[in-house]
Chain A
């Protein structure tokens, strides 16, 4: 059938007003979670199940001279032990950088690197056995600073064998237009250094995997792995590669997930170890990370050191952006190749750049590897860019919102790096936060110590090219209707709490007239569901939503045709709504959907349809790397923060964050609001509280590997969040929908930074905005004021000002 999800034919348009789209829904799977019935991975228990633990390196960089497992194996209750020698095939989520092994083969690259795994009858026995494993290390010099690491010339100290000269993980240099000329000829050049500290995901559910073998794995046996992953398909592929088992003899199931935020988007040591130990023992094996292990596994936000030069005309138009960035990658590549591109490629909207150049270098260091965290690779440059804009607004005497409006790229446009942008609701986002905060009236009157700050951002709705090159659809959905009057939706997409199962049910409900409770969504099981690439890059609503809409529309046509045939009316007159098929011109005539399904099954045989979606391939530039970051559709966000800064202590109290997000079309209103609020909260935490760092003075141990020491905002810390939905429907999205899960994090952070400047006149260009840092900046400014070097900030407003 030649149906194209990108261009639905006119007859696909619903013949009545939407009855589900844009409403608030009860999620299809929330009530069981709230009753404690839902089984997350660690809640699964199989007969004869063993428990496994991983022995981890106490050194940041060391050669493994020997491992003696004999004493551990002799312990009663120990069933098997594996080491790096059992996993010699390397893997990596990005096919071009397979630079890690399930367990360290001959070298450990950071504190917490896995060395051996034990399966025992219970966790206590596994822990006791771990302590009996004798590992002899030759400790090597460790690198904790990315620039020092890049400067290394001693090949014997190269951290990762994939590292190029000087522990270089990846370098990207791209230039668009005459940057030097456009910046040097500008009316104003703003130059600044920024540092974005590393942060981590902090999903409340720790990683967990359970593996089970049926039959003889050397012949036709089946390996099943349940894992708290957000990318079951990629896990499936890597298990097959590393364990040397054909993919069709591996089944990966993602049970309901307790949060991810990017922290579960690649395979981890635990899945390989549980699988291998299950194969060796013939018993089910479960491996649950401790919270400490989650911190050491990390794959979170890359620390980035950024130098920005931006040119502006007198009117505030951007003439050029020159960015130099060093990414601290940690010990492995993870998604780092993509992160390095994203650190530059995703900056080119919502503003029009007349020219642009970025150079990004990713260094290997002896720390837990960095990877994707919500807003992958683009939250850091957004922080720098939005402060640059704020500095320009102050220097030019232009209102910061007005400055952003003047640079707005607009809809149906092309970015300087040749990405084609469709719908764009950025201007409306700015309008909404401006009005809701009372910006115009209140900002000029706020006393010293109180301030408002604004920032804008954009994000992708999935990437046009998958992680491994192939021409197959990026998303597929299968829907079956049966004579009981229900729909079963099979989707490989990972619902990680963001509500993608409910999103699919809403689409099926809209198209087929079934209430949500009549729709069963079965997702993320590689035996039952079509391949889907998983929950990353904010791809699911657009891609899987399109595939689902296509399959549901095919079924709607069949059901409507069967009803129309019996009523002897044209098919277009039949509507499916609220568990009924009805005649639009004679609303008294209706038939229960269940019966309509029976008619359609009688006419067509079993009612099942598939839908698939592939991305447009004409929305990027023709240059090396030009596809990375290109998306079918872009979301837009504006944040506006109000802060109170205590000049005596440097404590920043964020009062309210207003956030308006253009998601194209909110398919389910409260779920979208929840994504906007959750993203904004996460940015707030990074701005003020969170730091994922290792301590070089103590051999690279994690400085805060617990929820007590890694400070995530609590109920009491979190400011008032006012989320507003903006809808600029995009032709590429299902019903116009774009992403909502990652974009609304970005500008949360610079909005707070800019509000701090408005409050007390200091720029905090490094994260987090800790009291000591803010206080030092206030003191420095006061000294400058006293020396007459800068005017007194908010000089007419003495309220709250500390006496010098």
Chain B
């Protein structure tokens, strides 16, 4: 079908990007189909599962409910960009690996993006209850959430060691 397209200029994982996309496309479609950034997942099509969570100007958003046009001139961060400032592996990713917090891993990119925003905003080590609240929009069907909670708390402690522990 011929559809009017528009030029989207945005920054993705620190790199400026200009791409043509149909007006009705979501940010998730642009990321996955145009930019081949497949880390953000499509689990439910309608904002229920959180597997597509990315950050827009540092705020976690559901890329499947965000029109691509909404990202015009803004900064998008996906799971592929998470480790950029950490030598390729973010402390969250390392903690998830140590705790076996990813089983199938399909929900993990979205969870990582939500968790990173939580720790960054708090600026300190976080606790189980606040992690559960921050991640309530991200479904995981494998783990029973236990190891994910442990991994996020652990990573936040690595990033913000308690005074006297260094």
Q: Do A and B come from one complex?
A: yes
| A interface, CB within 8 angstroms of B | 24-27, 30-31, 33-40, 42-43, 45, 76-77, 122, 124-125, 128, 201-206, 256-261, 288, 290-292, 496-499, 670-671, 673-674, 677-682, 706-708, 712, 714-716, 718, 721, 723
- Which of these, B3, B48, B80, B104, contacts A203 with CB under 8 Å? B104
Question: In residues 127-145 of chain B, which contact A (Cβ within 8 Å)?
Answer: 131-133, 135-145
B44 within 8 A of A: yes
Cβ-defined contact, A678 with B103, below 8 A: yes
CB neighbours of B112 from chain A (8 A):
34
- Inter-chain CA distance A671–B147, complex, in Å, is 10
Question: B97-112 vs A: 1/0 string, CB under 8 Å?
Answer: 1111011111111001
A128 to B108, CA, bound (A): 33
From B44, B48, B106, B136, A259 is in contact (CB under 8 Å) with B106
Query: Do B43 and A43 touch (CB < 8 A)?
Result: no
Which of these, B36, B46, B89, contacts A706 with CB under 8 Å? B46
Q: Pull 8 A–B residue pairs with CB atoms less than 8 Å apart, ordered by A.
A: A37-B80, A201-B141, A258-B41, A497-B104, A670-B100, A670-B147, A680-B144, A682-B141
Q: Which chain A residue shows the least CB distance to B40?
A: A36
Q: Do the beta carbons of B147 and A204 come within 8 Å of each other?
A: no
Name the distance in Å between A94's Cβ and chain B's nearest Cβ. 26
The answer on a CB contact under 8 Å between A259 and B93 is no
* Of B93, B109, B141, most A-chain CB atoms within 10 Å: B141
- Of A39, A124, A125, A290, which contacts B38 at CB under 8 A? A39
Taken together as a complex, chains A and B put the C-alpha atoms of A76 and B2 apart, in Å, by 10
**B49 on the interface (CB 8 Å rule)?**
yes
Contacts of A201 in B (CB 8 A): 141
Q: Which of A24, A291, A680 contacts B100 (CB 8 A)?
A: A24
> Which single member of B80, B104, B136, B144 contacts A204 (CB below 8 Å)?
B104
Q: Which residue of A lies closest to B96 (CB)?
A: A34
**B139 and A714 form a contact (CB under 8 A):** yes
Bound together, the chains give a CA A792 to CA B148 distance in angstroms of 43
Our pick among A258, A291, A679 for the contact of B104 (Cβ within 8 Å) is: A258
A24 CA / B38 CA spacing, docked (Å): 29
Asked if residues A670 and B99 are in contact (CB atoms below 8 Å), the reply is: yes
- B100 touching A674 by the CB < 8 A rule? yes
Q: With A205-B41, A678-B103, A707-B49 as known contacts, state yes or no: A34 contacts B132, CB within 8 Å.
A: no
Q: Mark B45-74, 1 if CB is under 8 A from A, else 0.
A: 110110100000000000000000000000
The complex places the Cα of A192 from the Cα of B132 at a distance, in Å, of 39
Contact indicator B96/A681 (Cβ below 8 Å): no
**Total interface residues in chain B, CB < 8 Å:** 57
Please, how many angstroms separate the alpha-carbon atoms of A499 and B38 in the complex?
22
* Chain B residues near A706 (CB-CB < 8 A): 44, 46, 48
- B119 within 8 A of partner (CB): no
Q: Are A37 and B39 in contact (CB under 8 A)?
A: yes
Tell me, yes or no, whether B37 is within 8 Å of chain A by CB: yes
Q: How far is the CA of A77 from the CA of B102 in the complex (A)?
A: 40
- The 9 A-B pairs of least Cβ separation, nearest first, read A36-B39, A497-B104, A33-B105, A258-B106, A681-B144, A707-B48, A677-B144, A43-B38, A36-B79
How near does chain A come to B90, taking the closest CB pair, in angstroms? 9
Q: Are A36 and B80 neighbours in the complex by a CB distance under 8 Å?
A: yes
Q: Which residue of A lies closest to B36 (CB)?
A: A45
**Which residue from B45, B97, B144 sits with its C-beta under 8 Å from A291?**
B45
CB distance from B92 to the nearest CB of A (A): 8
Q: B108 touches which one: A34, A39, A674 (CB < 8 A)?
A: A34
Of the candidates A33, A712, A721, the one whose C-beta lies within 8 Å of that of B141 is A712
Known: A42-B42, A125-B1, A291-B45. A681 touches B97 (CB 8 A): no
Once the chains are docked, how many angstroms separate the CA of A40 from the CA of B107?
Answer: 12
Beta-carbon contacts under 8 Å, B142-156 to A: 142-149
A716: which B residues are within 8 A, CB to CB? 132-133, 136
- The complex places the Cα of A31 from the Cα of B39 at a distance, in Å, of 12
The answer to whether B78 has its CB under 8 Å from any CB of chain A is yes
Q: Which residue of B lies closest to A77 (CB)?
A: B1
Minimum CB–CB distance from A708 to chain B (whole Å) comes to 5
Residues of A near B44 (CB, < 8 A) are 204, 291, 706-707
Q: Are B103 and A204 in contact, CB atoms less than 8 angstroms apart?
A: no
Known: A206-B43, A708-B48, A715-B136. A258 touches B105 (CB 8 A): yes
Contact A33 B43 (CB under 8 A): no
Across-interface contacts of B38 in A (CB, < 8 A): 36, 39-40, 43
A202 to B147, CA, bound (A): 19
Given A33-B104, A40-B38, A206-B42, 19 extra CB contacts under 8 A: A30-B96, A30-B97, A33-B105, A34-B105, A35-B83, A35-B93, A36-B37, A77-B1, A204-B104, A256-B104, A261-B141, A290-B45, A674-B103, A678-B103, A707-B48, A715-B131, A715-B132, A715-B135, A716-B132
Shortest Cβ gap from B41 to chain A (Å): 7
